[in-house]
Chain A
Amino acid sequence: MSTRFHSVRLDKDKCKGCTNCLKHCPTEAIRVRGGRARILDERCVDCGQCIRICQYHAKIAMTDPFDDIFKYKHRIALPAPSLYGQFRHLENIGIVLDALISIGFDEVFEVARAADIATRAIQERLRLPDRPRPLISSACPTITRIIQVRFPSLIEHIINVRQPVEIAAAMARQEYARKHNVSPDEIGVFFITPCAAKMTAIRNPIGQAKSDIDGAISMADVFARLVPHVTGAIQAKRVPTATPYGVGWANAGGEIHAATPRNSMSVDGVENVIRVLEEIEDGKLTDLDYFEGAACPGGCVGGPLTVEINYVAQNTIKTLRDALPEAHPSNAVTSAQMNAVPLHFDQKIEPNNAMRLDESIAGAIDRMEHMNAILERLPGYDCGACGSPTCESFAEDIVRGFCTEMDCIHLLKARLEEMALKVEDLAPDNPEPVRKPSAT
């Protein structure tokens, strides 16, 4: 399990061992041990909350270095639509597409175009009544991973449509290889990613055996390279081909806006999504057809690797969307496009048992009883000073053998006070002067 790849990492030299990240992790995947944070691989969902929270910038998202693109003879950029939202006052998406060519790519394939195709695939799935409702969007890999860890009973609700970026990668490679008559493995397909989770999803794909993407480059990194080419550009050679709905996927609610399920809900921000998933699991939202959850505030435009304020970016996306000629995926996407590459998962999504206390239920019951007994002795402050996020998780860590009760500073203080009283008891009430009375 620990060999699992994660984009979210710790920069040990910058970590002060404070408890900020500890408190904000939605899967309790962080511990502070030996004065530094540690990420529990099997629990981390790469949501990037810790990256946002850490004031020392000790939490980072590992992405591929830009120069990796030059390892390939032919290079294709897959810009997430959220990239367009990074440029304030951008009026023409084509300018960004041109700029991607200027910085070293041979071809650009808009992920928004694949979002149009995914939109149609979702609409088709919505027409099939064989799945429990609501269907849950598979677009945000963090949400899928949270479901695997915290809501395993909702896995069967996840719509089995591939992420737009995967559809984009397969189509881009196919189109380029055909057009230029080159071998598909000479082509490097790179995603310009707004988040760590999508980087992780390339190395550990969800719902498919292997990703079609060769690498992911941080949006912030690419943004810096694009700025000189975007600034001042007025006209564009390239004409964007995605519909306004595909571009709209960058914002929370964009997917629903495109696919128009009958009764749907869009929720953004990881804690908010968890609250609603909790309700879905309790069977309280069975009248809902579709649930779109985005871990980042505002949707992908709020990703931890973006540079623009998410609200401003949302607005830019809206303006760009409205400036495009009106077209809807249901007309714009041809059936040939729908059949060009696989659009559905070919692997089952499995529950992640990282929260399980023991392999056997009997063993887990023993451990939980032990935890309950420990918990009664703990103060319940959830201060995090022990390095575990809550008293409850601390009790769990003791039972798992990672720490001892005296790692709780409050228990330690009480113990020390007790000892001090004992020492005092040992002392005689009216101590004889040590010095012998002087002879008179």
Chain B
Amino acid sequence: MMHTDYPVEAGDFTRAGEASADIKRRLRQLGVSTELLRRVAVASYELELNIVIHSVGGQLSLEVDSQCVRLSSSDRGPGIVDVAQAMREGYSTANDEARSMGFGAGMGLPNMRRNADVFTIDSVPGRGTDIQMLFELA
């Protein structure tokens, strides 16, 4: 199994997208299908940006075995009070700075769920949020 971690800083828009660019590069080297690559590209970018915009920092992980691609994130807070609401299209708590840069359309989590084969989110207010996505290779 191939495993790589990417630390992601809160509010660091200048580096946002670097982790997802590296994830795409690795998947190309591994030879996954272009259709899957596109889905992972969209999902990993949203995942990375979510940490940048909403969390106080965290990390992203990529794991690949011969069955599937697993993309996960774990941040150090603040956590989501109402996960069901956060999953709704168009709902966002992004601040003005993020919105002024074109983020905060409220499509991040829905886009992840749409592109992944399996999507799980686990959040504890005050502690942080863990997201896991599975993409089947077959």
Contact = CB atoms under 8 A, between A and B. Distances in A.
Interface of A: 150, 152-153, 155, 278-279, 281-284, 351, 353, 355-362, 364-365, 368-369, 372, 396
B31 A353 contact: yes
Closest 5 CB pairs of A and B: A153-B38, A282-B45, A283-B42, A356-B31, A152-B34
Q: Give the interface SS of chain B, mostly helix, strand, loop or mixed.
A: helix
A185 B66 CA distance: 53
B39 to A, nearest CB: 9
A368 B66 contact: no
Contact of A282 (B2, B26, B35, B41): B41
Q: Give the interface SS of chain A, mostly helix, strand, loop or mixed.
A: helix
B84 interface: no
Given A152-B34, A282-B17, A361-B137, A355 B29 contact: yes
12 contacts: A152-B37, A155-B34, A282-B42, A353-B31, A355-B25, A356-B31, A357-B29, A361-B30, A361-B31, A361-B64, A368-B2, A368-B30
Given A152-B34, A281-B38, A361-B64, 10 more contacts: A153-B41, A281-B41, A282-B20, A357-B29, A357-B30, A361-B30, A364-B31, A368-B2, A368-B29, A369-B2
B2 A283 contact: no
B45 A283 contact: yes
A365 B42 contact: no
B35 A361 contact: no
Interface string B52-69: 000000000000111000
B111 A283 contact: yes
Contacts of B37: 152-153
Given A368-B2, A372-B2, A361 B38 contact: no
Nearest to A353: B31
A281 B45 CA distance: 10
B29 A356 contact: yes
Given A282-B41, A282-B45, A361 B1 contact: no
Contacts of A357: 29-31
Contacts of A359: 31
B50 to A, nearest CB: 13
A223 to B, nearest CB: 40
A280 to B, nearest CB: 10
Interface in B14-31: 17, 20-21, 24-26, 28-31
